[in-house]
Amino acid sequence: MKKILVTGAAGDVGSRLRKLLPAVYPNIRWSDIKTPADLGANEEFVAADLSDMKQVEKIVDGIDGIVHLGGFSVEGPWDTILQSNIVGTYNMFEAAYRAGVSRVVFASSNHAVGFYPRDKRIGVGVTVRPDSRYGVSKAFGEAIGAMYADKHGLRVTCLRIGNVGDAPIDQRRLAIWLKPEDLVQLIQIGLEHRDIKFEVFYGASNNAAAWWDNSNAQRYGYQPKGKADDFREQAMAAQAKLGPDPVGDKFQGGAFCSAEYDADRRTD
Ligand code: 15L
């Protein structure tokens, strides 16, 4: 990869990648709707609103590979999700295709499959079960990524990211934690592995409590270094301070499932 574009540079995951990715890819264009507060003089940054195709065309110009983190990263009102994540992701894939970009790594989310119960181990072949409008937008991103791969030959990798952080912060995150360095490894596979056409991987480290079968990523050489279990005590201590969430505690998506949940009120 000669030059890569990373969208969502000002977000939490983007800010972590700004520290880690330049060691692997020296030529990076960062983008976000707002400029990161701590932008370095040596960092190339171009602001863009992803819902505006003209602005997206500008940021993809001259790019070989894209890491698309941009958009709204939690549940939100429909119009926000529609503009940032649905229109924005369409614009990014369409602009990438028109500009001849060869690869896209799309930051999907565990919330595309959040309504699977925690006692079910799932692989990447399951039907999506989004737990939120946000989760629906991530399922859309995976679907449109597949379309650009199958119809137009873009090489696309979707990462169903769990929770990126220095350590798992509660019991749920013991199952889905992703060490930032392991995310870098997954991005590298997506941007470089010669056999990638369209793939979905789970963005999780080597977690003893995992709900996900990530053998598809392992098939491409993924060897996660992070082990959520190393932080079990502190995660469980944090969990003990949280109140019970009868719906969220049952499903993989946690509080994203219990928010606005009223399926149990139906009597028909
Ligand atoms: C996500 O997809 C969000 O972007 C992040 O903020 C966390 O909520 C994460 O999922 C999670 O499930 O912990």
> What is the residue with the minimal CA distance to atom 2 of ligand 1?
109
* pLDDT on residue 30: 98
Length of the chain: 268
**Secondary structure class of 26 (helix, strand, coil):** coil
Express each pLDDT in 141-189 by its tens digit. 999 999 999 999 999 999 999 999 999 999 999 999 999 999 999 999 9
Mean pLDDT value across the chain? 98
CA 221–ligand 1 middle distance (angstroms) = 25
Please identify which of the residues 134, 148, 202, 222 carries the catalytic annotation. Answer: 134
Report the pLDDT averaged over residues 10-24: 98
Average pLDDT over residues 89-117: 98
Token code pair at residue 60: 């993809």
Kindly state the DSSP code that residue 264 receives in the 8-state scheme.
G
- Read off the pLDDT of residues 118-148 as tens digits, 9 standing for 90 and up: 999 999 999 999 999 999 999 999 999 999 9
Q: Give the confidence band of 1 by pLDDT, cuts at 50, 70, 90.
A: confident
Ligand 1: which of 13, 15, 74 to mutate, most ligand atoms within 8 Å of CB?
74
213-254: pLDDT as tens digits: 999 999 999 999 999 999 999 999 999 999 999 999 999 999
The amino acid that residue 268 corresponds to is D
- pLDDT cut 70: percent of the chain above it: 100
| pLDDT at 193 (0 to 100) | 98
Q: Is the pTM of this model over 0.95?
A: yes
3-state helix, strand, coil in the chain (%, to 5): 40, 15, 45
Token digits for 51?
């819902």
- Which residues make beta-bridge pairs with 108? 160
Q: What domains sit in the chain, N to C, each tagged with a CATH number?
A: 4-261 (3.40.50.720)
Crossing angle of helices 133-152 and 88-99, in 10° steps, is 20
User: Residue with the nearest Cα to atom 4 of ligand 1?
Assistant: 73
Indicate if 134 belongs to the active site.
yes
